[in-house]
Structure 1
Amino acid sequence: MGNETNGGPRDPGSGRVKEQGETVDGIQIRAVGEDEVEEWDRALAVGFLRSHVGRATEFRRRQWEPGRMIGAFDGDRIVATFRSFDAELTVPGGAVVKADAITAVTVTATHRRRGLLRRMMTGDLAAARERGAAVAILVAAEYNIYGRYGFGPATRGHGWNIDLLRAGGLRADLPTVPGGRIDLVSMEELRKIGPELFDRWRVTQPGAIDRDELTWQRHTGEIEVPGFDWKEPFAAVHRDAEGTPTGLAVYKVDDTWDGSYPNCTLTVHDLVALDRPTATALWRYLFSVDWVRKVTVENVGPDDPLPMLLNEPRAATPHAENADFMWLRVLDVEAAFNARTYGAPGRVVLDVEDRDGYAAGRWAIEVAADGTGRCARTTDEADLALDASALGALYLAGETLPRLAVAGLVTELRPGAAAAADLLLRTPLLAWNIDGF
């Protein structure tokens, strides 16, 4: 199964899955019509083991676009679901590439092991490549499913649990924003401020994707989806001396007391900042909220220096749910690798095995002194051999070549090639995606 949380329809483009689909063993795989969205929604709930939740028909209709919502029909019953939409993915260097974002992937327990997922995935990836998507992305609910389709874990979700009494607050020597201020804003104000601020931030973070209007409506409670309990959060906006928003923190506080002693936990759902002093100001604010004794940060960059900002870094312990998060599959090697920048000049030749053909072949990546790179097919002798899944894991530099080589997922064809090529692919910031989809 694949996770399903956010994301509405984007520009549909061309190359959609055929409306008539294909029939295998009496099961027809085809695009869902707008009049079939309610049935598709119920099949999705069953597939995710949430048959008890209410209907989300109107929300699903907002997500529907021709050819992008797929169902497997056993007679009149939908027994598998699949949806994709176009997203913008930030790559190292700040450019964005077109990504096929895959979500809502389920197969009903009664119809497993019949090749339904493979047929839905194969059709969608072919259509995505025809539309000009450089990569496909998804959030994997199960680790062992998507490698067979050429996806590799490209970002990690990382969080912290912070004991405020032990932490002793943030260090006093950290930089601040002269004249900056923090204000709580309403959900209506957040819908106005958040999108522009987020768009400015996401191009600074490799691995981030864009948010559409429907996502902001969900985040702020304008639209509520059955099965995803929404409770109004707090939203704190940081502004510089000129009044321009430079950061945002969205959080909730539970109302827990130990007798007459406050023992509340503040949970951070979103924190984006355009610069380090803004981030510091927002953390300082969050750690100073009355009655709070523990701060849980659900998802922050895996190399974020947050623990080192504390007077006692050991007060921050890793969140239990830290794990691989967004998976990536390269569909157009030249478009993907020509879009990003690199860490050091040099050249590497990759020999990629890809059963579906999109990334198969031998590729030379040449990096100039300014960090720009050029990727093209070559007949030169290869330095490294890997499959499409490993290529997906490496693309955003969320994984290292030496580690993959030690794990047996990359083969060195030239001694020292993994370490040398890793310098080329390295980025100042680790890839990170704040959003499920």
Structure 2
Amino acid sequence: MTTDSRVLQPPEWDRWFSAFELAFGGVGEPAGKRALYRDLTEFDRAIGVWDGDECVGTAGAFSFRLTVPGGARVPTAGVTMVSVAATHRRRGLLTSMMRRQLDDVRTWGEPLAVLTASEPVIYGRYGYGVATQRLSAEIDTARVRISVPEGPGDVRLRRVKPDDPAVRDACEAVYAAEVAERPGMLTRGPGWERLPVVDGETAADGRSALQCVLAERHGEVVGFTLFHNRPQWDVSGPAGVIELRDLYALDPVAYAELWRFLFGIDLTSTVRAHERPVDDPFQYLVSDVRRCGLALRDSLYLRPVEVGAALAARTYRAPLDVVLEVEDSFCPWNEGRWRLSGDTGGASCERTSDQPDLALSVNELGAAYLGGVSLTALARAGRVAELRPGALTAASAAFASDLAPWLPHGF
């Protein structure tokens, strides 16, 4: 087989994206969302594999900044739109694209690469580890109540049009405040605020078009929610479902008021959410958590592309001085021993010939990097080896994050 792998050119985009859609079942995106994806595509960071005139492989990388423990926003490649044509599987195309892409990410000076996986089994062999989980909930709002904590009141809820540019700007400012605090979130460039609006601009599959409600205090936006209403009826009467897309707020009272609004929408008895942080505070405000249908699923996969730069970019909850023996056969420039020293004020990570304290692969580093997966838990699974007594406990405590890392949306 002779194929040509090359950087994507703008005139090739339609065939490239259609090949990606076909690999994922052949159901095309709506015109508005397709146009947005074209606008967001960074052509110099996208790869197409061609067999003659046919595109048989796709891969792209958005240029993001990822919040890490300590609040730094680290340049990160957001790996996206990866596919191989069904006619060209098991010929090494995916591996060749991953090889080229990670080499490119390194030359771009981005120490991290992240992705969301269609199938978890695929990306471990390229060094990615599961760094965040997402919480899903199906809340029986006919039986569950939510309380509002004490604090500054005067919260006004106002329904608005989600596609209003002023509304989008206000919502994006609230989102940005959360990005500054929580690891795993992405600083979004221009255009990304359009994604939820474009995705839900028309009614489909029995649900309403996207709806938006702002929480305001003294005229300032302090929170918002985006959702769909899916009207349903059964023999007992109305049984509608609220499908939550986003909910952010700047303080606990505004946050709880938005949830209480969703719980109380007429003719509904369920709130369904799929992309919430595992430590979402609603769990501690509901009257009956057992009737909230909670479930966890893997979300963001992370790979240190440059181990030294990645580990030095974040801070650590406790003083740390540890030598890591890192295995990374796919990116061998990371292999070997690294001395990581740091605390809440900063960190350094340099090559060393000293004896190692912990041994692990780059996959485990990726999983633990944002503080949501403990090194101790990975060691109990046999994925991290403690070579110096006491090193594991100290490192695990230092890597932890106060807030659970969270990716609130795909890319």
TM-score of the superposed pair, with normalisation by structure 2:
0.92
Partner of 1:360: 335
The alignment yields a C-alpha RMSD, in angstroms, of: 2.4
Are 1:436 and 2:404 counterparts? no
Aligned length: 406
SS at match of 1:166: coil
1:150-161 equivalence runs, <5 A: 150-161=127-138
Residues 435, 58 of structure 1: CA spacing in aligned structure 2 closer, same or farther, 3 A cutoff? closer
1:405 CA displacement: 0.8
Residues 156, 36 of structure 1: CA spacing in aligned structure 2 closer, same or farther, 3 A cutoff? same
1:206 CA displacement: 0.6
1:278-427 equivalence runs, <5 A: 278-319=254-295, 322-355=296-329, 356-368=331-343, 370-427=344-401
Stretch of structure 1 that moved more, 255-264 or 343-352: 255-264
Are 1:129 and 2:103 counterparts? no
Question: Contact (CA 8 Å) 1:42, 1:51: kept in 2 or not?
Answer: no
1: distance between equivalents of 2:291 and 2:76?
A: 38
1:21-420 equivalence runs, <5 A: 25-51=1-27, 58-167=35-144, 169-171=145-147, 174-189=149-164, 190-221=167-198, 232-241=209-218, 243-259=219-235, 261-319=237-295, 322-355=296-329, 356-368=331-343, 370-420=344-394
Question: Contact (CA 8 Å) 1:220, 1:232: kept in 2 or not?
Answer: no
Residues 387, 27 of structure 1: CA spacing in aligned structure 2 closer, same or farther, 3 A cutoff? same
Residues 153, 171 of structure 1: CA spacing in aligned structure 2 closer, same or farther, 3 A cutoff? same
4+ residue segments displaced more than 6 Å = 54-57, 222-225, 227-230
Letter in 1 for 2:217: D
2: distance between equivalents of 1:80 and 1:229?
A: 35
Stretch of structure 1 that moved more, 352-361 or 392-401: 352-361
Letter in 1 for 2:402: P
Letter in 2 for 1:297: A
Question: Contact (CA 8 Å) 1:218, 1:224: kept in 2 or not?
Answer: no
1:367 CA displacement: 2.6
2: distance between equivalents of 1:230 and 1:339?
A: 43
Residues 222, 366 of structure 1: CA spacing in aligned structure 2 closer, same or farther, 3 A cutoff? closer
Question: Contact (CA 8 Å) 2:62, 2:79: kept in 1 or not?
Answer: yes
Partner of 1:7: none
SS at match of 2:274: strand
- Sequence identity of aligned pairs in percent? 35
2: distance between equivalents of 1:135 and 1:276?
A: 32
Stretches of structure 2 lacking an aligned partner (at least 5 in a row): none
1: distance between equivalents of 2:270 and 2:200?
A: 30
